[in-house]
Structure 1
Amino acid sequence: MELDEVDWKLIGLLQEDGRLTFAELGRRVSLSAPATTERVRRLEQLGVIVGYRAVVDVRRLGLPIEAVVRVRVRSLDTPRFRERVVVLPQVLDADHVTGDDCWVLRVVCPSTGDLEAFVELAQKYGDTTTSRVFSSPVRNRAIGRETSCAVGEVPRS
């Protein structure tokens, strides 16, 4: 799939603000609103753009405790872990990974007691390691053409 510079600009703009109108997007990339609409629809049909969502501050929703919970699930328990833990609403992200751990979960809770209860549930399926999140200097970074650069390589303008 070949994306041109306009496609990349549209992707970047929509990652910054998914509520921009097609007219405003078009102004920013020097296209008409219909041409912009066609481009965005094509990116959606190709599966490059898979959705739009609001980004919320979980602390303002009464969920000030954030943690990364790594779980080494026993292989026979994987289906039950998926059905009983991964689906819980406090799980914001769940990554099935390689290495010592099987799962890396990012969770939010209203209190440390609730986090403790969550970890105890996860421990029914294997060993856990829990790390409280102090801050997140990088969160939901936009993907751009420069993302594919090798480490240390200077992105082309």
Structure 2
Amino acid sequence: MKIDDVDRCLLEALLEDARLPLKELAARVGMSSPGVSDRLKRLEENGVIRGFTLDVDPKALGYLFQTIVRVRPLPGNLHVVQKALQDTPQITECDKVTGEDCFVVRMHVRSMEELDQVLDKIAEKAETSTAVVKSQPVIRRLPPVL
């Protein structure tokens, strides 16, 4: 799907505030509300817009530690480890990567004890290397909408 300048303008506006009313979006791009509605529907149908999300601070829910864990499954355990990672609610992101490790996981835990409990579940099936996140100078964001 080809993205034009109107689509880019709509995406940029929604990235700033996904709750903008249709009327305001229409005014920003100089179109009617039904026209903007059709464009947004097309962007969703074509997978450009995958959804609208809520951004909640994990610390407000008691998750004091954020970690990044590199996971290297032991031979024959790739699919078992992947399933275990998918089934662990503290894991908020998981990427399957190239290189020495197979997975890079972002996890939120309430305590170091909880971190140990989570890692213990895969300890017999994988090697892990854990880093505690001190700060996030760049919060997850999209590349430029050009």
TM-score range (shorter-chain normalised) is: over 0.9
2:79 matched residue in structure 1 = 79
For 1:13 and 1:142, locate their aligned partners in 2 and report how far apart those are by CA, in whole Å: 13
For 2:143 and 2:33, locate their aligned partners in 1 and report how far apart those are by CA, in whole Å: 24
8 Å contact kept, 2:81–2:126 = no
Indicate yes or no: 2:101 matched with 1:97: no
| Equivalent residue runs for 1:41-80 within 5 Å | 41-80=41-80
For 1:42 and 1:99, locate their aligned partners in 2 and report how far apart those are by CA, in whole Å: 37
**Structure 1: 5+ residue runs without aligned partners?**
147-157
TM-score (normalizing by structure 2): 0.93
Check 1:121–1:24 CA distance in 2 against 1; reply closer, same or farther (3 A cut): same
Deviation per residue, 1:95-134 (Å, 9 max, x gap): 0110011000000001011012212223222111100001
For 1:124 and 1:28, locate their aligned partners in 2 and report how far apart those are by CA, in whole Å: 56
For 1:121 and 1:63, locate their aligned partners in 2 and report how far apart those are by CA, in whole Å: 19
Letter paired with 1:57: D
1:3 matched residue in structure 2 = 3
| Equivalent residue runs for 1:109-128 within 5 Å | 109-128=109-128
